[in-house]
């Protein structure tokens, strides 16, 4: 087998390696088959006319010729072929910058000969006598204005408090006057009804009958309901008849006062 040689690297060693591998494979097949087919062993046999006495003659063992082992096939050693080496990757050279060549910042030293200017301190001029008097007058005016504002606030607070107290007194006086009017006309209503009660016999002196009376404007009785019995039915009925008989009941002339008399809770006793 002819192997063509090319100019490319690693082609020649690869071809030699392929030839060597194929030759070793064919040699292994050939000698392996020959080694398996061994020649049969030879034996020699003696023939006897009659059998000897077995007891007197020792047994003759057959001679077995030693057979030499077949010759071992010679190993064909081909030329050693080096395995192809991978191509080396050529790494690019990286040039590191020279530290010495680095530029250092240039420090500018201050010129010691030139004096550093010191900032001048600003000195406030002292106020004149007229300015002092003006400031004192302005301060006094501000204090007077603040004092006047405080006095006005206190005066307004005092006036508001007096108005509240006056309104509370007026409400109390009005409530007291209304209460007096209510008590006065309630007494008149009870007196008028009591005059119309026909007292039944055997009524206890501590008997107490309570009624809820609903009135209409003008004193007309809309209804009289017994809320608490005196324990004497005849006395309760006598008081109810007296209420209905006494209408119209006396009421104040002020219409605004009627709300106080729309629902009346009246108490009646035999002895007042």
pLDDT tens sequence across 139-161? 999 999 999 999 999 999 999 99
Whole-number Cα distances in Å, 182 to 172, 223, 243, 251, 265? 15, 20, 18, 9, 12
CB 269 within 8 A of CB 238: no
% the chain with pLDDT above 90: 24
- Highest mean pLDDT out of 35-49, 68-82, 98-112, 129-143: 129-143
What is the rounded distance in angstroms from the CA atom of residue 270 to the CA atom of residue 197? 10
pLDDT tens sequence across 227-245: 998 888 999 999 999 999 9
Token reading at 92: 């690019």
- Choose among 225, 207, 215: nearest CA to 189: 215
The reported pTM is 0.42
Q: What is the DSSP letter of 205?
A: T
Token reading at 233: 């039915």
Which residue segments constitute the domains of the chain, with CATH numbers given? 1-34+72-84 (no CATH), 131-272 (3.30.1150.10)
pLDDT tens sequence across 159-193: 999 999 999 999 998 888 888 888 899 999 999 99
């Amino acid at each position: 087998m002819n192997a063509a040689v090319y100019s490319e690297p690693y082609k020649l060693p690869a071809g030699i390696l392929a030839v060597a591998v194929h030759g070793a494979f064919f040699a292994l097949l050939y000698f392996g088959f020959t080694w398996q087919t061994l020649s049969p062993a030879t034996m020699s046999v003696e023939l006897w006319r009659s059998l000897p006495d077995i007891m007197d003659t020792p047994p003759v063992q057959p001679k077995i010729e030693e057979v030499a082992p077949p010759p071992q096939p010679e190993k064909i050693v081909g030329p050693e072929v080096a395995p192809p080496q991978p191509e080396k990757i050529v790494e690019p050279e990286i040039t590191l910058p020279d530290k010495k060549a680095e530029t250092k910042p240039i420090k500018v030293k201050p010129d010691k000969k030139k004096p550093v200017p010191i900032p001048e301190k600003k000195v406030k001029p002292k106020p004149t006598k007229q300015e002092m008097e003006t400031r004192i007058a302005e301060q006094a005016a501000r204090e007077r204005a603040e004092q006047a504002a405080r006095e006005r606030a206190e005066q307004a607070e005092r006036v508001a408090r007096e108005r509240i107290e006056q309104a509370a007194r007026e409400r109390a006086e009005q409530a007291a006057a209304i209460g007096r009017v209510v008590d006065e006309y309630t007494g008149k209503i009870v007196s008028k009804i009591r005059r119309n009660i026909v007292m039944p016999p055997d009524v206890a002196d501590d008997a107490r009958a309570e009624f809820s009376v609903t009135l209409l404007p003008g004193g007309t009785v809309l209804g009289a309901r017994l809320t608490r019995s005196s324990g004497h039915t005849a006395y309760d009925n006598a008081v109810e008849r007296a209420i209905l008989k006494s209408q119209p009941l006396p009421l104040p002339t002020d219409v605004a006062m009627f709300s106080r008399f729309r629902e009346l809770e009246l108490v009646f006793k035999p002895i007042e």
